[in-house]
Structure 1
Amino acid sequence: MAQLEAFYRRHVEDMTRFVGRRFDDPHTVADVVADVFLAVVDSGDAYRSAARDERAWLYGVARHVVSAEYRRKHRADVLNSRVAGRRLLGADDIARVEDRIAAENAGRTAIEAMSELPPRQRAVLELVAVDQLTVAEAGRALGMSSVTARVTLHRARARLREAAGPPPDGATPAAGAPAASTDLSRSTA
């Protein structure tokens, strides 16, 4: 139990940021983060037997949980899904989650810029540029080799540069452009 608590404390902020870039409702963010850690408990044996990197494995689990939530929201009536089975958050809890969501606005902007990329390219670029995993970690999280992840990342960056077009000579980034930590074309591999 102590190991699970330590694991949770090590990764809860990263998971809240990861989910906060994908959903803007504090209740949904709190629920999905909780679901990520429930999925971790349920699939703990898979982690040990696969001998994977803890961080890459966790982001892989989180991506699956987020995808499941998107599918659930698509099928469910929006009003019922917001009321049914949710623990009500207190004002302090909502304020804390809203602050985290607001802090991820630049990340959501970056994800919107990637929406035209093919899913594999978008997934690798997102994990490397936004979530700051290494290319090898992103590859492991997505079930691909590090070489395949590196090539996929290169192609994604090239497509984004092509879509953005050449910058005017001497131009500086426009207001609202992604910050250095979410600069999708120059993140470290």
Structure 2
Amino acid sequence: MRLNEDPGAFEAFYRRHVDAVQRFVVRRVSDPHVAADLTADVFLAVLNSADTYRPGRGSEVAWLFGIARNVVSAQHRKAAREAKATGRIAGRRLMDDDDVARMEERIDAERQMRAAWQAMADLPEGERAVLELVAIDQLTVSEAAAALGIRQVTARVRLHRARRALSTVASPSTVYLEGQT
């Protein structure tokens, strides 16, 4: 991809995927300021690693969600370190009222999916990662495998195990997760 060399190509890529990235992020964080920052960080990481995309390994969406997952995971690790060191995270970047309102609307719209994501917290990391990408972010098993850097058969096994573990939890959000392919 020539995203880091061609501003027009990057703009088109950004417009094609910004909504999907925002949905991905707001399912995993509830603060609109952090969600906006992480969305921007994902696209900055895209620019920095555009030369690593290999179409033969998966779709650009799978590659992008792999980057988004790494950015969000890094944020969670950073927040945990800061919380431990300071006892609480302080300071927020300024957003205008319209930006905050739009981000809050997205967060509200994804509230049920965040609840489902929280129900998956007890799953092993590998199983949870595949289930998130397939059931919540609606990637194919092949795309999820590419995003996680694992074989497709491994992704299918992990997805099966995750769904089997969630079958004991009866809530509307987990029923949704169990029914997706």
Superposed pair shares fold, TM > 0.5: yes
Q: Identity of aligned pairs, percent?
A: 53
Say whether residues 1:65 and 2:58 are aligned partners: no
In structure 2, how many angstroms separate the alpha carbons of the residues matched to 1:11 and 1:91?
24
What's 1:134 paired with?
140
Deviations 1:92-141 (A, max 9, x none): 11000000010000110110111111000000001000000000000100
Q: Which runs of 4+ in 1 moved over 4 A?
A: 48-51
Whether 1:155 aligns to 2:148 is no
Aligned partner of 2:114 among 102, 105, 108: 108
Relative to its length, the structure with more helix (as a share) is 2
Output the TM-score relative to the length of structure 2: 0.89
Amino acid in the other structure paired with 2:20:
D
Structure (1 or 2) with the larger CA radius of gyration: 1
| Superposed displacement of residue 79, structure 1 | 3.9
CA contact under 8 A between 1:121 and 1:152: conserved in structure 2?
Answer: yes
State the match for 1:164 in structure 2.
Answer: 169
Contact 2:57/2:146 (8 A) holds in 1:
no
Shift in Å at residue 48 of structure 1? Answer: 4.4
Is the 8 Å Cα contact of residues 79 and 89 (structure 2) preserved in structure 1?
Answer: no
1:41-73 CA distances to partner (integer Å, 9 max, x unpaired)? 000111148754201000000000001101111
- 2:15 paired residue among 9, 16, 36: 9
Corresponding residue pairs, total = 171
| Unaligned ranges ≥5, structure 1 | 166-173
2:179 is paired with a residue whose SS is coil
